[in-house]
Chain A
Amino acid sequence: MDSYRNFILEEFIQDAYFRQWALDELSVDDTFWENWLQLNPEKLKMIEEAKSLVIALKVKPIDVFTASEISEGIQDILNDTLDKHSTSYIRRINWLQIAASITLLIGLGFWYAGKDLLKSEYFEQLASTEPKAIHSNNSNKSMTFELVDGSKITLEPGSELRYGNEFGDKKREVYLSGEAFFDVKKDSQRPFLIYTGKLVTKVVGTSFSIKAYEQDDAISVSVRTGKVTVYRQNSKSGNSRSLSTEIVLIPNQKAVFEKDQELLIKTLVDTPVSINEVPQNSALTFEETKISDVFNRLEGIYGIKIDFDKEVFSKCSVTAHFNHESLYQKLDIICEIVRAKYEIIDGEIMIFGNGCQ
């Protein structure tokens, strides 16, 4: 207990218990410091000085917010974080640049709800297919396995992947409910097709992830490497599977399919990663660098097209040092420097602004 005996003045000031005593914040029953002083009378002067300093440095509390403003504020946040607002949440992570990884949100309580949620479209599709294998992940960890064609699948908790008897012979078709990461073995003769409700994803050989939970309002496909085609399946045309809208995704792009409006949108993944061999977080330094060179550099790293008006921005230059910032953080900083803003439109980045003097 008595390490206090060796304390110097500043150590007393730094000690939370001492400060509480100095500011009369201890309960009246707590007589530790009075007793301690009786036992160490030679420290009186130092204690007096320390106490004076603690008092001098006491900061006036701020009370600009009323109690009702505070409870309203807390309530607003609770309302904003209700899970049924998953639509607005999904839009948010797409359009705002909140950093996120490829693994995505799993709805609260979904595991407990269990199989009741895996139904409708998914099973309709399966009705005509005699399943050869069903992989379902009922654990709370992701599960990785290999298919006969050599493709690797990582299935997230609460997700299920099925395929029919003919898998691997002439075609490669699987049905997914939930979320999975695919590392597809290259085979140009037999494209790999993933059915998720109304959305079909077609690949030759590449890696990407799909998130298609029954209870979510949207399906998303995020591409890591290679090229992926995503299209809407026209349910009325039965087996002929005519293609309606089709989009092609390159690395760091993502397709989002809004189920209720049947809207298929191309955007960017939540956390674009470098497409080159360079280490993910290697430093990037710009010194009075012309903005066109800066954007060229970023395009090269992330493989994402950055569109801007070269004439308007011709006088802009950037001095900045980046370490581990995400692409979106880098863009935030660059845009702040040149007083511009950016938007993600159709899987590309558009820069808006009035240029520099």
Chain B
Amino acid sequence: MKTNDQIITKNTDDALLWQALKRSEKAAFEILLKKYYTVVLNYGVRFYRDKEFVKDCVQDLFVEIWNRREYLSDVISVKSYLLQSLRKNIIRESTRLKWFREADKISEEQDFNVEFDIETYLISRELENESLQKLRSELDNLTKRQREAIFLRFTQDLSYEEIANIMDINYRSVVNLIHEAIKAIRKNWFISLFSSFLFIY
């Protein structure tokens, strides 16, 4: 097969890297590891604040992928596969920890830590907006699932389908989560950003 002879570089696309990894090509594993390690780590820590715990989970995830490389199935997207697996592992492992360390205050439900950056944006551009308070309260009212969906969609650029897989909910629910969030915010929020800026042209 032609593809077997392909030289693997940083720019090889994920699907080919995944195939190469399955054929035990360590270089492909290393490229994917370096490409996604930080993304996966930062996603994990939004779930569970214990840095070392998340780091261990991420390490187990990658080591397991390498050890099981011959049995891996094809994936539609490597990134969403990694996020989905880590999410599952963290939920499982942290639930298990809860049994053994009940003294520790691990919140009953998994949290998802997302902070919105609007203030930074406005300050850096010396903009003021009288509806900021309202926006803040709308953002604060978003559920953790909405936050997670928004994060995966808009920060991680994943498709609805990938998000549905990662969060283990159906496609329609993802669409609704995001749609409802946008609707709520849209009610009270508008910045006239470039009426002045368009002037340039």
Contact = CB atoms under 8 A, between A and B. Distances in A.
Interface of A: 9-10, 13-14, 16, 19, 34, 37-38, 44, 48-49, 51-62, 64-65, 69-70, 73-74, 76-78, 80-81, 83, 89, 92-93, 98-101, 103-106, 108, 332, 336, 339
A102 B161 CA distance: 32
B64 interface: yes
B116 A10 contact: no
Interface residues of B, number: 58
A56 B116 contact: yes
Interface of B: 24, 26, 29-30, 33-34, 37-38, 41-42, 45-46, 51, 55, 58-59, 62-64, 66-68, 70-71, 92, 95-96, 99, 113-118, 120-121, 135, 139, 150-151, 153-155, 157, 179, 181-182, 185-186, 189-195, 198, 201
Contacts of A53: 182, 185-186, 189
Contacts of B193: 48, 51-52, 55
A78 B179 contact: no
Contacts, number: 136
A331 to B, nearest CB: 13
Contact of B30 (A49, A78, A106): A78
| Residue among A9, A65, A98 with the highest chain B CB neighbour number at 10 A | A65
Contacts of B66: 81
B59 A57 contact: no
A59 B41 contact: no
Contact of B192 (A34, A48, A108): A48
A213 B69 CA distance: 18
A106 B69 CA distance: 10
B41 A55 contact: no
B67 A98 contact: yes
B62 A77 contact: yes
